[in-house]
Amino acid sequence: MRPTDGLFSLSLAGAKRVVGAAKRCVAVRDDVSKFIAEGGDVFAVHVVKADDEIRARDEVVVVEGGGEVLAVGRAVLSGEEMRAFKRGVAVKVRRGCES
């Protein structure tokens, strides 16, 4: 639980458990998956798919095309905006699976 706003943060272990049933997933291009797994932020231009339920400030799971968990973080844009925008940060990554 985050002390700043009282919301829950998703851990990598938790993300791996719920990824199949999660409604708030962001899929990215495979060519940037290593960068994101190392803790880099997700830019809107790299988003391949984003769930419609995502709103700005939601906890999201970042996955590669095959569905493997790369990172967890907080959405900066809504799911619709992530798919439409070609510039800017879409997800502020908190923890990558290789960081």
Task: Note the pTM of the prediction, 2 decimals.
Answer: 0.84
Burial class (CB within 10 angstroms; exposed 0-12, middle 13-18, buried 19+) of 55: middle
Per-residue pLDDT tens over the stretch 73-95: 999 999 999 999 999 999 999 99
- Per residue in 10-27, pLDDT (tens digit) is 777 777 766 666 678 999
**How far apart are the C-alpha atoms of 98 and 33, rounded to whole Å?**
11
Whether 48 contacts 29, CB under 8 Å: yes
Pairwise CA distance, residues 1 & 66, whole Å:
30
69-75 and 89-96 beta bridge pairing:
antiparallel
Structural domains in the chain, CATH included, are: 12-96 (2.30.130.10)
